[in-house]
């Protein structure tokens, strides 16, 4: 990725102010979102800003290799991705406000998952306004080379995390819509603002050994304050 003079951002987001925003939700499993693929799918993380400060970075969860016996999470080279920040109008991204300049990968020991920290040049936001982080596969052949974002999911409930939503678009000219009827949960997603505020949901999997029945992603850079 192109590097700019904003090399301080990945360090500053680690010293957050301790103000976190999370909500209670229920999930039955993880569900993957192919970015690219046969439907030319584009993802949008739609979020309601909680401060006027610039968004410094976001952390997401990618599946970058197929587990044994479970195809369908990634294909070919895995694709190539651009992350752009937009002001939102009724779920649709407006003109781009900024494009991510640095991506710091956090790949799991089994080489199947990646929890990248995606850093943006500073653009001040408006608290209460919705914005979109659009994730697009710009590979020369995205129908063959793609990977999947992963989010918690429950078919029985929709819009469980109204502050952080997952919207999808099939094809270049189509409108974005809530993913799978809104049943995707905005977790794990961590938003880091330049003033130290953090926002989002940090649970990365369903777990039968946790009191919340969810596994916190604190080992992969999601602040524990964002977990249930």
Q: Residue 1 domain-assigned?
A: no
Show Cβ contacts of residue 41 under 8 Å, excluding neighbours closer than 6 positions.
Answer: 33, 34, 35, 168, 169, 170
What is the number of structural domains in the chain? 1
The pLDDT profile of the chain, 228 residues, written as one tens digit per residue, is 322 233 334 444 444 554 444 558 999 999 999 999 999 999 999 999 999 999 999 999 999 999 999 999 999 999 999 999 999 999 999 999 999 999 999 999 999 999 999 999 999 999 999 999 999 999 999 999 999 999 999 999 999 999 999 999 999 889 999 999 999 999 999 999 999 999 999 999 999 998 889 999 999 999 999 999
Task: Note whether residue 3 is domain-resident.
Answer: no
Does residue 201 sit within a domain? Answer: yes
**Residue 55: domain span:** 9-226
Residue partners of 151: CB distance under 8 A and separation at least 6 = 30, 31, 33, 61, 166, 179, 184, 185, 186, 187, 188, 189
Radius of gyration of the chain (CA): 16
Res 24: pLDDT: 83
* Residue in the structure block whose two tokens are 């995707």: 184
Helix-strand-coil percent breakdown of the chain, rounded to 5? 5, 40, 55
In a domain, 4, yes or no: no
* Cα atoms found within 13 Å of the Cα of residue 168, Cβ hemisphere only: 21
* Amino acid 210: pLDDT: 87
Helices (H), 82-193: none
14 domain residue, yes or no: yes
Residue 77: inside a domain: yes
> How many other β-carbons are positioned within 10 Å of the β-carbon of residue 143?
15
The whole model's pTM is what? 0.90
Residue 2: inside a domain, yes or no?
no
Task: Identify the pLDDT of residue 17.
Answer: 53
Residue 49: inside a domain: yes
What are the residues whose beta carbons fall under 8 Å from the beta carbon of 123, sequence distance 6 or more? 54, 55, 85, 97, 98
């Amino acid at each position: 990725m192109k590097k700019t003079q904003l090399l301080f951002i990945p360090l500053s987001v680690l010293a957050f102010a301790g103000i976190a925003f999370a909500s209670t939700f229920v999930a039955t499993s993880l569900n993957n979102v192919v970015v690219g693929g046969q439907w030319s799918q584009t993802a949008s993380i739609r979020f309601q800003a909680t401060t006027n400060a610039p968004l410094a970075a976001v952390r997401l969860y990618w599946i970058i290799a197929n587990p044994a016996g479970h195809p369908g999470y990634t294909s070919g080279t895995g694709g190539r991705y651009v992350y752009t920040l937009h002001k939102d109008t009724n779920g649709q991204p407006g003109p781009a406000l900024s494009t991510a300049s640095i991506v710091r990968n956090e790949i799991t020991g089994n080489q199947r998952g990646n929890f990248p920290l995606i850093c943006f040049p500073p653009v001040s936001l408006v608290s209460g306004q919705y914005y979109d982080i659009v994730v697009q596969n710009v590979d020369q052949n995205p129908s063959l080379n793609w990977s999947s974002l992963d989010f918690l999911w429950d078919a029985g409930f929709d819009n469980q995390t109204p502050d952080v939503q997952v919207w999808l678009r099939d094809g270049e000219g189509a409108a974005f819509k809530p993913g799978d009827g809104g049943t995707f949960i905005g977790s794990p997603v961590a938003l880091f603002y330049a003033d130290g505020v953090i926002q989002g949901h940090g649970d990365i999997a369903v777990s039968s050994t946790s009191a919340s029945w969810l596994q916190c992603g604190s080992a992969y850079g999601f602040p524990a304050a964002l977990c249930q």
